[in-house]
Amino acid sequence: MKPEISVVVPVYNEEEVIQTMHQRLTDVLSGLNLHYEIIYVDDGSKDNSASIIRPWCTDDGRVKLLSFSRNFGHQTAITCGMDYAAGEAIVIIDADLQDPPELIPDMIAKWREGFEVVYAKRRKRSGETGFKKTTARLYYRLLHRLADVDIPTDVGDFRLIDKTVRDALLQLPEHNRYVRGLIAWLGYRQTNIEYERDARYAGKTKYPLRKMLNLAGNGITSFSYKPLRISIYLGVILSIASFLFLLFIFFSRIFDLVDMEPGYASMMCVMLFFFGIVLIMLGVTGEYIGRIFEEVKNRPLYLIFREDGKFYEVGRRGTSPGSEKAVHKVDSASRPK
Ligand code: UDP
Ligand code: MG
């Protein structure tokens, strides 16, 4: 039976929460009286997450597990889950219960009203540090200003998308996937429901500062050229300023307005400042070139284990592996230890 709703759950070292998560999720879904499937994408967990999930797949055909060959990252995990989802609508939800599964019925209601994208907007976040809240707030606003598409603020990946949106998403060829931005770019009829983000149920965040900065950088560089343009603005401003300074020196010299002394200090200041700017802008340019390099290599997005332990290569953009057959093939995938 073809599912109406697919729920995609990225999992990375979540052995402490996954059981409670599964319980709450199935409680919500079974109350809905529709056909559903749950796709867990194990993003190369090093703990027992996969072995906790695997028996659920055997007991209940609606539960599926896709195991990556290594940690490919959260955005890739949800991309993979969406690629495989067979439902008419797909819900993406974190495994740590920060996104309450109880919101799913409301999302489905909105979807039935005719919206293709229903995202959950965080009204409040609890259980997170002041640092995370402040940086997240500032970041979303910065992204909103910089990005060429309207990426909604305070919205994560917790959302429902229609199958048509997923199919459109498959057509976007880039490897560097900032999923919420890509969905914003696609357009369609989008709406939101507000919620209060809970604290993580158990375990630690799987997004250390390094990964968070990476995601943040991806968001900006995938959706804006403005950082590149900054070098032009800076260049223009600095050229004007230095031209004025040049005029000043020229006339001072001619009319002997000020005593000219060999100005080591001012030279150093100007030089260091300019070198600093040049280096920063070289870095920004390099960042974009690196991204071009990533795309040109055209590697698959992810690798999934197959029953025989060999790698089953999938995840090339534009070629949907999302047939049910493919899911069943990797259903009982056992990870070689
Ligand atoms: N996650 C993942 N791969 C990663 C990091 C995280 O699949 O490399 C999953 C994680 O298991 C969780 C979701 O992505 O389901 C969000 O991660 P987390 O809750 O740690 O991030 P935070 O809420 O702290 O930003
Ligand atoms: Mg979390």
- Summarize pLDDT for 189-219 with one digit per residue, the tens: 999 888 888 777 777 888 888 888 888 888 8
pTM: 0.76
d(CA 333, CA 135): 39
3-state secondary structure of 124: strand
Tokens of 15: 């052995």
pLDDT tier at 269, thresholds 50, 70, 90: confident
* C-beta separation of 49 from 15 below 8 A: yes
Ligand 1 atom with the smallest distance to the CA of 203 is 20
Between residues 330 and 235, the one the model is more confident about: 235
3-state secondary structure of 312: strand
Q: What is the pLDDT of residue 330?
A: 45
The yes-or-no verdict on residue 92 having pLDDT over 90 is yes
d(CA 112, CA 290): 42
Q: For a pLDDT cut of 90, what percent of the chain falls above it?
A: 26
Closest listed residue to residue 158, CA positions, set 220, 96, 202: 96
pLDDT tier at 321, thresholds 50, 70, 90: low
Q: What is the helix (H) or strand (E) element at residue 66, kind and residue range?
A: strand 63-67
**Residues with C-beta atoms within 5 A of ion ligand 2:** 96, 98
Closest listed residue to residue 332, CA positions, set 48, 65, 12: 65
Closest listed residue to residue 227, CA positions, set 136, 294, 289: 289
C-alpha distance from residue 252 to each of 21, 161, 238, 244 (Å): 74, 67, 21, 12
Residue type, 294: E
Contact residues of ligand 1, CB 6 A cut-off: 10-12, 14, 43, 71, 73-74, 77, 94-96, 98, 205-207
Mean pLDDT highest for which of 12-26, 246-260, 269-283?
12-26
d(CA 162, CA 301): 22
Tell me which ligand sits closest to the C-alpha of residue 204: 1
The yes-or-no verdict on residue 334 having pLDDT over 70 is no
| Best mutation site among 12, 25, 137 for ligand 1 pocket (most ligand atoms within 8 Å of CB) | 12
- pLDDT mean over 239-244: 80
- pLDDT mean over 131-137: 84
Query: What residue has token string 């031209």?
Result: 243
Q: Calculate the average pLDDT of the chain.
A: 82
3-state secondary structure of 102: helix
Q: What is the pLDDT of residue 41?
A: 93
pLDDT tens per residue, range 165-175: 988 888 887 88
